[in-house]
Structure 1
Amino acid sequence: MDILWFIIIGIVAGWLAGVIMKGGGYGLLGDLLLGIIGAIVGGWFFRLIGIAAGGLLGSLITATVGAVIFIAILRLIKRA
């Protein structure tokens, strides 16, 4: 059941990041991958600045923030 929640959070976080960054989402698989990468980046970033987010909402926020950071980095690289 945990993997199902991980997938759902990944999809929602990826979609939210796409909307926040004016991309409108990247399709189901793209949103899932973006959300998973976002969870990793967000977890690293939150630990770096000393913030702990727990529970379902905390996981969603962490993954979304990480996905937004990841999209921003990819756009910077793409411009260079």
Structure 2
Amino acid sequence: MYLSNQSLLVILFVGLVAGWLAGKIVRGTGFGIIGDIVIGILGALIASLLFPKIGIHLGTGVLSAIFYSVLGAIILLFVVRLARSGGRF
């Protein structure tokens, strides 16, 4: 698979927006800009694997990718927060 510079920038932008939005929704301490990008990209991977298997399809395009990524990042942040706090909020 070949990624152009433009598609890499789109992936990073979507990851940044998704990580930032998920951090605001979950109201965590934040992970910085690099951490937010990583959380957003991992959230997108989680969402792209999990949602189609349970039958959730929300459309196509950048806004749909951001929405999927935000939902996946929120799930990831909840799991990280549960792991850090020993299973309780």
Distance 1:34 1:68 in 2: 9
Long gaps (5+) in structure 2: 1-5
Distance 1:49 1:38, change over 3 A: same
Match of 1:65 in 2: 71
> Partner amino acid for 2:54?
I
1:5 matched to which residue of 2? 10
Length, aligned pairs only: 80
Tell which deviates more after alignment, 57-66 or 16-25: 16-25
> Which residue in 2 is equivalent to 1:77?
83
Would you say 1:20 and 2:47 are equivalent positions?
no
What does residue 3 of structure 2 align with?
none
Alpha-carbon distance in 1 for matches of 2:75, 2:50: 9
Identity %: 38
Bigger Rg over Cα: 2
Unaligned runs of 5+ in 1: none
Is the contact between residue 16 and residue 25 of structure 1 (CA under 8 Å) also seen in structure 2? no
Supply the RMSD in Å over aligned alpha carbons.
Answer: 1.2
Query: Match of 2:56, SS?
Result: coil
TM-score, normalising length: structure 2: 0.82
Moved over 6 A (4+): none
Bigger proportion of residues as helix: 1
Measure, in 2, the Cα distance between the counterparts of 1:13 and 1:21. 12
